[in-house]
Structure 1
Amino acid sequence: MAPTVFQKEPGWWKGAVIYQIYPRSFQDANGDGIGDLLGIVNRLPYVAALGVDAIWISPFFTSPMKDYGYDVSDYYNVDPMFGSLADFDQVIATAHAYGLKVMIDLVLSHTSDQHPWFKESRASRDNPRADWYVWAEPKPDGTVPNNWQSQFGGTSWHWDARREQYYLHNFLTSQPDLNFHSPAVQDALLDVARFWLERGVDGFRLDTINYYVHDAELRDNPALPKEQRNDKTAPSVNPYNHQLHVYDKNRPENLAFLARFRQLMDGYGAAAVGEVGDSHRGLEILGEYTRGDDRMQMSYAFEFLSGTAMPAATVAEVFAEVARVAADGWVCWAYSNHDVERHITRWGLTAAAARTYVSLMICLRGSLCLYQGEELGLPEADIAFEDLQDPYGKEFWPEFKGRDGCRTPMPWDPAQVNAGFSPARPWLPVPSPHYPLAVSAAEADPAALLHHYRRALAFRRGHPSLRVGEITDVTVEGEVLSFRRTEGRETILCFFNLSEEPATVTVPPGHWVAIGGEIGSTRPTPDFQLYLGPWQPSILLLDSAH
């Protein structure tokens, strides 16, 4: 693909397709078994050829890697295992040469306990950064300040002997939470964002965006009845699911910081997608965080990132909930990412079903996130306990095996050692079922899922109603989901048979032309009947000239 002149047009993010790169596992350029920034540079032509608009790079900052980069010890530098700032500049330059925007993963809710800010904060109760983290006195009997739970298991409070106080950690004990009630903390984090914007990034993926602000009074979370629990943001074996998280996260005070962050981004034409992690109010919070022009441009919840199946009725229910609580916001949809089981395995998809869900995805109203390897149809890897790296999995093994199964190295060539990821032993093994699905094998196979993704993304790019149009008339007939997308004079009607059984549905009167090609080309009969085979989509354009 020939490089193009890079431009950052206003509103580029709306309807954009963002490709997530997990740098440890994408491509190893220096032969140490760990992916790096120059490896990303080398593979950007492949990413650009998919037809995406932007890349999102998971954390590459200096870190002790207790949580694989989500525990930052220096926001202003690249961890040596990934390369250097000069290498990152090369990522920016190369991506922009191919017309790709670059979004980076900012982890603002917490730092590593090795960060200089925390080292200073824990040194005493009266130093300049004493209030930069969330410190609290023990109860009179020495126990933790309240009932808040860590998402990685157990209490979210850890005793610090230096200050003789507890500090808050929503994740690992080595990930202390920053205190967003301190104006100095907010200013420091905005300076971090400004540094990377000046370096040329086009936006951010904001990790755990609804965790930033905690309740200043440290009130207990209420208990959650068993029948209301689910595993959208934590595995079912985790007691984190036993609470309604109204005080340790999801605080209304967060909106003021988001407004400051948006104002900063607007000066650079940048955009952000926030990760909203909440089992009960995810879409509602998404609506709050993306409403209007002074908050985040887009966020994603976990409606399509969890569960064991996604039948037509479930998808329609999600659409209805978005219309109810986030109609004025903007959703970024994803089926897979670095934290959840790959959707090919999670939903138990056949090859035909996988193609249909791709066709559905590119017709959704919102922006899209694709996770590296999903375009190859990679299943979840089965990682032996002795190879496990994820501390989350080690804590809850074997009922929950952690996140390593979706983080294994990207397979590039089945004929090469470690499928072309690295000549050295990779940090996680390349599972044998991934070799025949590698990029070079897919390139040579016209029936490979990779080509379907490329066709689907090109199709979406060619139709403004799919990228930015309204969605109306959501209907479920059996296992057939249908809806209408409209932008200007373009009206598209989408049908998806999400089952193994053939189906017949009625199409509204009008001159409908099948436009989907291999994405979905079934056309209606003269009496407006549409016959759909198992896992068959149909995408129709209203020809207003007739």
Structure 2
Amino acid sequence: MSPHATNLYHKREWWKEATFYQIYPASFKDSNGDGLGDLPGILSKIPYLASLGVDVVWISPMFDSPQKDMGYDISNYEDVYAPYGTISDMEAIISSCHAHNLKIILDLVVNHTSDQHAWFKESRSSRSNPKRDWYFWEPARWVDDDVEGGKKRIPPTNWRSYFAGGTWTWDEGTEEYYLHLYDSSQPDLNWETEDCRKAIYDSAMRFWLDKGIDGFRVDTVNKYSKVLPFRDAPITDPKSEWQPAAENWCNGPRIHEFIREMNEEVLSKYTAFDGLPLVTVGELSLTPEPEGVLRYVSAKERELDMVFQFDLTHLGQGDGFGGKYDFVPWKLPELKRIVEKWQCFIESTDGWTTVFNENHDNGRSIDRFGNGAPEWREKSAKMLALWLAALAGTLFLYQGQEIGMLNAPEEWGIEEYKDVESMNHHREAVQLSESGVDSTRKERVVKGLQLMARDHARLPFQWNGSVNGGFSTGKPWMRAHDLYKEINAESQKKEADSVLSWYKQLLRLREEHKDVFIYGAFELLDPENVSTFVFRKHYGDKTALVALNFTSEPQPARGMDYMTLLISSYAKAKEGVLQPYEGRVYIKY
């Protein structure tokens, strides 16, 4: 990239300049004291979101569900999980968002359903049912049983599930296996079947678009097309009978055809509440190369507006399958290279990118990229916020990020963790450790979960210093963080120098200088420095320089004399020195 390249040619779109705010319904706000967040609770906090300065509310699944995977196992797309509320509550939220000039998007979870969905119940009722091929069913394989003699039944393939174990479950009723890339309660839909796709478009999409939502976050968007016929994956993990097999179901042969059809048949027929285009953002895992990502987000391809690419949030994780929670220590140059890769990705293309470091599937950013110690957590939160606000692309925040929420304390026992993925990985680790196959697996996985488990993002939102952080008057479904009296939204509203006030200030600044921050070209400086992250942003004749100290020690600040200081995360910046976990932006016109 030329150091003075620009993104001047990128078409201006409302969703490129918007800030999105993700709500996890179970953990946001409980209105009735049953310990579970709910839709009336969300409705009561719409003014809070408007005051924060965000533009779009993204609500994670609130659909009817057995909640084996916190709503990502949907049993009815056209209804709401009763403990959360009703369809009328959702209609009220949509209306309130629009009244506050906020758009609203929902999760589109259509790689799989719950095994309690009516479609799957029909599909498994008999091999001749018309919906049999709405899911993937395969006969058993039979191999020699070296222990018992004779033959034994094994699944159609040796694939490893995201949630540990295999991807096939035996159905006694019809004597075949069904496929599930995730939990056994989440059978994969068969997008090869046209009637299945049409039902998805009607039930999961048009039903909610007709109620006025403004787009979708598209879950697991690159997994709808499987490589057929099914085949075993190569053995890359000799200690396990289940093998990573993403090449068989990720970015499959018909995936782009399916997404284009979704646009042509449904999305192109609707607009947002104010007449502007709908927005789509896809969850694009296991796609590390820019060329592969561009196929999904190129404007001329008319597939998705943007995607979440997970190199950053997966930094420090193992292989994503058996070794996901084996923490891999990393240094700052690795993080810089990831940021540079996806910032420069949009230059000289018609694609777009997203900016985020938290969501419902990852540990909190302060603990992962900053320092959660009492003396550094606020400074870390502010520095990390400045880092995101200065990057090109669409900004996504996750609930609680704006007040500096932290991971669960390390002293909490594993019994406080609730997530199906955490539990499955821990159970597997215990078995491997106790059997002697991998004697240190349990210890390693526990340490990994303490830093990276999905559970950390799901602790109840800390609204104030009252019992349970003001989240609920009853016993919360997940334990409230021990520090809710110290870290909460109510106290931070009153403090001009709080993390919450800082986020509000940054969102205004990002809007004021959106040309250089949102659309500006990226230039990385001093890439091998292990302590500071310094980069420039260019837009026409305007240049911003961003300097971030990722350590608890002062660091030299050089080459900034010719620019004007725009903002520092410290009340007073020191000449020539970046203070611990300080972030600064300089500007030059």
Q: 1:389 deviation in Å?
A: 2.5
Structure 2: segments with no counterpart, 5+ residues: 1-10, 144-152, 272-276, 317-328, 427-441
Contact 1:491-1:541 at 8 Å conserved across structures: yes
CA 1:523–1:96: 2 relative to 1, 3 Å? farther
Structure 1 range deviating more: 198-207 or 460-469:
460-469
Contact 1:305-1:335 at 8 Å conserved across structures: yes
C-alpha RMSD of the superposition? 2.7
C-alpha distance in 2 between matches for 1:252 and 1:536 = 47
Q: Give the structure 2 partner of residue 472 of structure 1.
A: 522
Equivalent of residue 313 in structure 1, options 321, 325, 333: 333
Q: How does 1:448-487 map to 2 (within 5 A)?
A: 448-466=498-516, 468-476=518-526, 478=529, 479-487=531-539
C-alpha distance in 2 between matches for 1:106 and 1:70 = 9
Q: Give the structure 1 partner of residue 364 of structure 2.
A: 342
- 1:271 equivalenced with 2:271 (yes/no): no
Q: Give the structure 1 partner of residue 566 of structure 2.
A: 515
Q: Give the structure 2 partner of residue 504 of structure 1.
A: 557
Q: Give the structure 2 partner of residue 123 of structure 1.
A: 125
Q: Give the structure 2 partner of residue 163 of structure 1.
A: 174
The one-character-per-residue Cα deviations of 1:71-106 (angstroms, maximum 9, x if unpaired) are 000001111111111100111111111121101111
- 1:377 equivalenced with 2:379 (yes/no): no
- 1:393 equivalenced with 2:422 (yes/no): yes
Q: 1:68 deviation in Å?
A: 1.3
1:469 maps to a residue whose letter is Y
CA 1:239–1:417: 2 relative to 1, 3 Å? farther
CA 1:40–1:254: 2 relative to 1, 3 Å? same
- 1:28 equivalenced with 2:55 (yes/no): no
Q: Secondary structure at the match of 1:113?
A: coil
Equivalent of residue 150 in structure 1, options 143, 151, 161: 161
C-alpha distance in 2 between matches for 1:252 and 1:360 = 37
C-alpha distance in 1 between matches for 2:587 and 2:367 = 33
Q: Secondary structure at the match of 1:205?
A: strand
- 1:71 equivalenced with 2:83 (yes/no): no
Q: Secondary structure at the match of 2:45?
A: helix
Contact 1:148-1:220 at 8 Å conserved across structures: yes
Q: Give the structure 2 partner of residue 410 of structure 1.
A: 461
1:395 maps to a residue whose letter is N
Q: Secondary structure at the match of 2:525?
A: strand
CA 1:370–1:239: 2 relative to 1, 3 Å? farther
Q: How does 1:223-262 map to 2 (within 5 A)?
A: 223-224=235-236, 243=244, 245-262=246-263
Equivalent of residue 390 in structure 2, options 349, 359, 363: 363
Contact 1:365-1:467 at 8 Å conserved across structures: yes
CA 1:442–1:523: 2 relative to 1, 3 Å? closer
Q: Give the structure 2 partner of residue 491 of structure 1.
A: 543
C-alpha distance in 2 between matches for 1:539 and 1:471 = 15
Contact 2:391-2:518 at 8 Å conserved across structures: no
C-alpha distance in 2 between matches for 1:137 and 1:324 = 47
Q: 1:470 deviation in Å?
A: 3.1
Contact 2:554-2:577 at 8 Å conserved across structures: no
CA 1:298–1:505: 2 relative to 1, 3 Å? same
C-alpha distance in 2 between matches for 1:347 and 1:532 = 17
Contact 1:62-1:72 at 8 Å conserved across structures: yes
Q: 1:324 deviation in Å?
A: 7.1
CA 1:517–1:535: 2 relative to 1, 3 Å? closer
Structure 1 range deviating more: 309-318 or 137-146:
309-318
Q: 1:311 deviation in Å?
A: 5.3
Q: Give the structure 2 partner of residue 533 of structure 1.
A: 579
1:270 maps to a residue whose letter is L
CA 1:203–1:466: 2 relative to 1, 3 Å? farther
C-alpha distance in 2 between matches for 1:98 and 1:473 = 37
C-alpha distance in 2 between matches for 1:388 and 1:522 = 41
C-alpha distance in 1 between matches for 2:182 and 2:227 = 17
Q: Give the structure 2 partner of residue 140 of structure 1.
A: 142
C-alpha distance in 2 between matches for 1:536 and 1:346 = 17
Contact 1:521-1:539 at 8 Å conserved across structures: no
Q: How does 1:91-110 map to 2 (within 5 A)?
A: 91-110=93-112
C-alpha distance in 1 between matches for 2:135 and 2:158 = 18
- 1:441 equivalenced with 2:491 (yes/no): yes
Q: Secondary structure at the match of 1:261?
A: helix
Q: 1:447 deviation in Å?
A: 3.1
- 1:291 equivalenced with 2:291 (yes/no): no
Structure 1 range deviating more: 445-454 or 296-305:
445-454
Contact 1:282-1:301 at 8 Å conserved across structures: no
Q: TM-score, normalised by structure 1?
A: 0.87
Structure 1 range deviating more: 344-353 or 431-440:
344-353
Q: 1:418 deviation in Å?
A: 1.6
The one-character-per-residue Cα deviations of 1:330-385 (angstroms, maximum 9, x if unpaired) are 22222111111112222342332321111110011111211111111111114544
2:544 maps to a residue whose letter is I
1:167 maps to a residue whose letter is Y
Structure 1 range deviating more: 458-467 or 191-200:
458-467
C-alpha distance in 2 between matches for 1:342 and 1:535 = 16
**Identity of aligned pairs, percent?**
33
Q: 1:426 deviation in Å?
A: 1.1
- 1:322 equivalenced with 2:342 (yes/no): yes
Contact 2:227-2:253 at 8 Å conserved across structures: no
CA 1:100–1:194: 2 relative to 1, 3 Å? same
2:231 maps to a residue whose letter is R
The one-character-per-residue Cα deviations of 1:167-186 (angstroms, maximum 9, x if unpaired) are 10011111000001111222
Q: Give the structure 2 partner of residue 209 of structure 1.
A: 221
C-alpha distance in 2 between matches for 1:380 and 1:542 = 38
CA 1:166–1:80: 2 relative to 1, 3 Å? same
Q: How does 1:16-55 map to 2 (within 5 A)?
A: 16-55=18-57
Structure 1 range deviating more: 478-487 or 126-135:
478-487
Bigger RCO (CA 8 Å, 6+ sep): 2
Structure 1 range deviating more: 344-353 or 292-301:
344-353
Q: 1:49 deviation in Å?
A: 1.3
The one-character-per-residue Cα deviations of 1:279-337 (angstroms, maximum 9, x if unpaired) are x6375543332122411111112222133577552233114433676653322222111
CA 1:502–1:389: 2 relative to 1, 3 Å? closer
C-alpha distance in 2 between matches for 1:421 and 1:110 = 31
CA 1:238–1:387: 2 relative to 1, 3 Å? farther
Structure 1: segments with no counterpart, 5+ residues: 1-8, 227-236, 525-529
C-alpha distance in 2 between matches for 1:239 and 1:542 = 58
Q: Give the structure 1 partner of residue 588 of structure 2.
A: 542
C-alpha distance in 2 between matches for 1:423 and 1:521 = 41
Q: TM-score, normalised by structure 2?
A: 0.81
Q: Give the structure 1 partner of residue 430 of structure 2.
A: none
The one-character-per-residue Cα deviations of 1:230-270 (angstroms, maximum 9, x if unpaired) are xxxxxxx9987x53510122214111111122333233221
Q: Secondary structure at the match of 1:434?
A: coil
Contact 1:146-1:219 at 8 Å conserved across structures: yes
Q: Secondary structure at the match of 2:16?
A: coil
Q: How does 1:77-88 map to 2 (within 5 A)?
A: 77-88=79-90
C-alpha distance in 1 between matches for 2:217 and 2:579 = 39
C-alpha distance in 1 between matches for 2:291 and 2:365 = 24
- Count of matched residue positions in the alignment of Structure 1 and Structure 2: 515
C-alpha distance in 1 between matches for 2:526 and 2:108 = 39
Contact 1:520-1:538 at 8 Å conserved across structures: no
Contact 2:521-2:539 at 8 Å conserved across structures: no
